[in-house]
């Protein structure tokens, strides 16, 4: 029996995948537990409609990310920090602080999208990478002053 997976099932199938499985397995496990539906003309049409809708949404999100990339590439964030002897910075500038500063400027970026591989713990200009969408990222400048 051919089934269309409507949920991901580890080692069996991903959402939207059409797969041939044994009748008993399909009826007694996959369909019964809501992991799949029988492959019928109606269900295939429904799947194609959902895939087209998802593709359209992905395209819209990609265009928004490209627009945001253009805007963010011009942004310079300035952080005033306390310093000690020899201009040694106390603490560091965190992704949370960067997120909050971007929100003040009107950009809504999630904290986990901001690259946190290196803490910013010195004065001067630093480049921070922000992942906007699957393969779209941009770099903003962070200026740390005393």
The per-residue pLDDT for range 90-112, each reduced to its tens digit, is 888 888 889 999 999 888 888 88
Domain 75-145: homologous superfamily in CATH: Ribosomal protein L9, C-terminal domain (3.10.430.100)
Q: Mapping DSSP to helix (H, G, I), strand (E, B) and coil, where does residue 110 land?
A: coil
pLDDT (tens digit, 9 = 90+) per residue, 113-144?
A: 888 777 788 888 999 899 988 888 899 999 98
Domain with CATH 3.40.5.10 in the chain: 2-66
Which CATH architecture describes the domain 2-66? 3-Layer(aba) Sandwich (3.40)
CB distance 72 to 127 below 8 Å: no
> Across all residues in the chain, what is the average pLDDT?
90
pLDDT of residue 58: 92
CB distance 52 to 59 below 8 Å: no
Mean pLDDT of 2-6: 93
Domain with CATH 3.10.430.100 in the chain: 75-145
Phi–psi pair at 103, nearest 5 degrees: -65, -35
pLDDT (tens digit, 9 = 90+) per residue, 30-61?
A: 999 999 999 999 999 999 999 999 999 999 99
pTM equals 0.67
């Amino acid at each position: 029996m051919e089934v269309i997976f409507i949920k991901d099932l580890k080692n069996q199938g991903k959402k939207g995948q059409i797969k041939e499985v044994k009748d008993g397995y399909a009826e007694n496990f996959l369909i019964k537990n809501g992991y799949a539906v029988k492959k019928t003309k109606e269900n295939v049409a429904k799947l194609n409609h959902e895939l087209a809708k998802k593709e359209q949404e992905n395209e819209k999100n990609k265009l928004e990310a490209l627009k945001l990339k253009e805007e963010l590439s011009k942004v310079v964030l300035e952080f005033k920090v306390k310093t000690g002897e020899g201009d040694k910075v106390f603490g560091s500038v965190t992704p949370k602080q960067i997120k909050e500063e971007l929100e003040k400027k009107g950009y809504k970026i999630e904290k986990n999208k901001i690259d946190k591989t290196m803490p910013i713990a010195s004065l001067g200009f630093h480049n921070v990478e922000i992942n906007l969408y699957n393969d779209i990222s941009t770099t903003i400048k962070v200026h740390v002053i005393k």
